[in-house]
Chain A
Amino acid sequence: MGEVIVVTSGKGGVGKTTTSANIGTGLANNGHKVVLVDTDIGLRNLDVVLGLENRIVYDLVDVTSGNCRLKQALIKDKRFTNLFLLPAAQTKDKTAVNPEQMRTLCQELKAEFDYAIIDCPAGIEQGFRNAIAGADRAVVVCTPEVSAVRDADRIIGLLEASELRNPKLIINRLRPAMVKRGDMMDISDILDILAIELIGVVPEDESIVVSTNRGEPAVMDLGSQAGEAYRRITKRIQGEEVPLMNLEVPKGLMDRLKKLIGLS
């Protein structure tokens, strides 16, 4: 029996889809059978991020409304034979699916896969309720901004009200240099308010933009800092104990010289 994990945030643009794609790909890379489900009906993105847009024939709404079998709608990934995508419909909206249908779908997926990663739309309306309906666990993505933290707080409250206890937190797009200057909320500021378990901090990384545009998740890029962060998050989701990534600002030449002559 597999596990259904929903990736959510409340606020838009904090990296839910990128995180879903990277966690899904990372889990598949570690040998698990994984399905990624895009529940952002009407504004689908996950297929683009994975580079699978041109292979879509059937979608989530076709499955829930019985137009096709689940197997027909699942798209096999380019790189991994054990990674699948269930794309969202683009021509419908969130009301095309209801939470009951999602619960049934999740049960079906759990029987077939080790992990089902659900990419949740922004907001707290029907799309959100659909996405969390069949989930066993939740991962909340948050950026170090006051507005994102506020929305994440609300989402955590709603998750707890829906019996999805102990959601995990991923802080995305952190800029260590800005935090060091005191221009950005640091990790402890965020944890102070949200008070949930942190499973990863992803630094702001240009390679994410490149990999998203290419349709190749950064988790496969061994040279990318963000990729490394996602690899560690993947391990933690599998239940392994790994330390958080060291995000200290690399020391400049002067610092190293000072250290050499014993000034600091």
Chain B
Amino acid sequence: MTRTDHVALKGTRDGLVLYLDPAADFELLIEELSSLMKNSDQFLQGATLRCYAGKREFSEEEIAGLAAALKQSGLELAGWLTEDEVYLPKPRPSVSAEREARLEEGMVEGHCLFVERSMRSGKSVQYEGHVVVMGDVNPGAEIIATGNIVVLGSLKGVAHAGATGNREATVSAYHLAPTQLRIADLVTRAPDDGTEIRGPEIAKIKDDQLVVEAAGLSGWRSKAR
């Protein structure tokens, strides 16, 4: 046992560190320390250690008392640690959470899947990140991505961008005519009329509405439309 309610003894890279609760009464600390030492093994004999008690400052008497108590257990008080020197455990972000945070940051960067052929009916792609299809997405095919979806051809199947709830996600295609289009929690479908080619378009969420806009083109490409 290396810890009690107010005292803890830990081995760190820089040697042994005794953590003392800054709020606890000094008598209590000494008491707990001696019981801690009683229970600890013989291998601590002759070791030096440093103490850490946060911002609390002990009187000289108290420090001497502490050193004496340690000496009884064969330990030597080598000094005090400041807040900067001591290692305090912090909640470490998990890898998947980190990645999620990065994906949520913006739709600019991230993992990307390239589908290098047309997707026919019955084909389904699910990916954590962005999806680019180099071909058509036929009716009956579906893409589900946590990021953006880009189709270099006709999108006639089902596309779900920002599937984990990211409303920044977009769906763009050279010919945007999906059976159903979903971004985050919003769903829409292509108008029943109009199969004419309108040129590259991009679907995104604006003011809680799924809107489709012409992809921002300039120069001769926009004039050709």
Q: A interface vs B, CB < 8 Å?
A: 150-151, 153-154, 156-158, 160, 192-193, 195
Chain B residues contacting A193 (CB-CB under 8 Å) are 136, 138-139, 156
Complexed CA–CA distance, A220 and B95 (Å)? 70
Shortest Cβ distance from residue A212 to the other chain B in the assembled complex, whole angstroms? 29
Which of B122, B136, B154, B156 is A154 in contact with, Cβ under 8 Å? B122
B123 within 8 A of A: yes
19 A-B pairs in the complex with CB atoms less than 8 angstroms apart: A150-B121, A150-B139, A150-B140, A153-B121, A153-B139, A153-B140, A154-B120, A154-B122, A154-B140, A156-B120, A157-B120, A157-B121, A157-B123, A158-B122, A192-B154, A193-B136, A193-B138, A195-B118, A195-B136
User: A154 near B121 (CB under 8 angstroms)?
Assistant: yes
B100-159 residues at the A interface, CB under 8 angstroms? 118, 120-123, 136, 138-140, 154, 156
Q: Is chain A's binding surface mostly helix, strand, loop or mixed?
A: helix
Complexed CA–CA distance, A97 and B139 (Å)? 33
Residue on A with the closest CB to B136? A195
Complexed CA–CA distance, A114 and B210 (Å)? 58
Residue on B with the closest CB to A158? B122
Complexed CA–CA distance, A154 and B121 (Å)? 5
Complexed CA–CA distance, A186 and B122 (Å)? 23
Chain B residues contacting A151 (CB-CB under 8 Å) are 121
Complexed CA–CA distance, A193 and B136 (Å)? 8
Shortest Cβ distance from residue A128 to the other chain B in the assembled complex, whole angstroms? 13
Complexed CA–CA distance, A160 and B122 (Å)? 13
Chain A residues contacting B154 (CB-CB under 8 Å) are 192
Residue on A with the closest CB to B153? A195
Residue on B with the closest CB to A195? B118
Chain B residues contacting A195 (CB-CB under 8 Å) are 118, 136
Chain B residues contacting A154 (CB-CB under 8 Å) are 120-122, 140
Complexed CA–CA distance, A150 and B118 (Å)? 14
Complexed CA–CA distance, A154 and B124 (Å)? 12
Residue on A with the closest CB to B140? A150
Complexed CA–CA distance, A154 and B122 (Å)? 6
Chain B residues contacting A153 (CB-CB under 8 Å) are 120-122, 138-140
Chain B residues contacting A150 (CB-CB under 8 Å) are 121, 139-140
Shortest Cβ distance from residue A187 to the other chain B in the assembled complex, whole angstroms? 16
Chain A residues contacting B140 (CB-CB under 8 Å) are 150, 153-154
Shortest Cβ distance from residue B197 to the other chain A in the assembled complex, whole angstroms? 11
> A153, A154, A156: which has the most chain B beta carbons within 10 Å?
A153
Q: A154-B121, A193-B139 are in contact. List 20 more A-B contacts (CB 8 A).
A: A150-B121, A150-B139, A150-B140, A153-B120, A153-B121, A153-B122, A153-B138, A153-B139, A154-B120, A154-B122, A154-B140, A156-B120, A157-B122, A158-B122, A160-B120, A193-B136, A193-B138, A193-B156, A195-B118, A195-B136
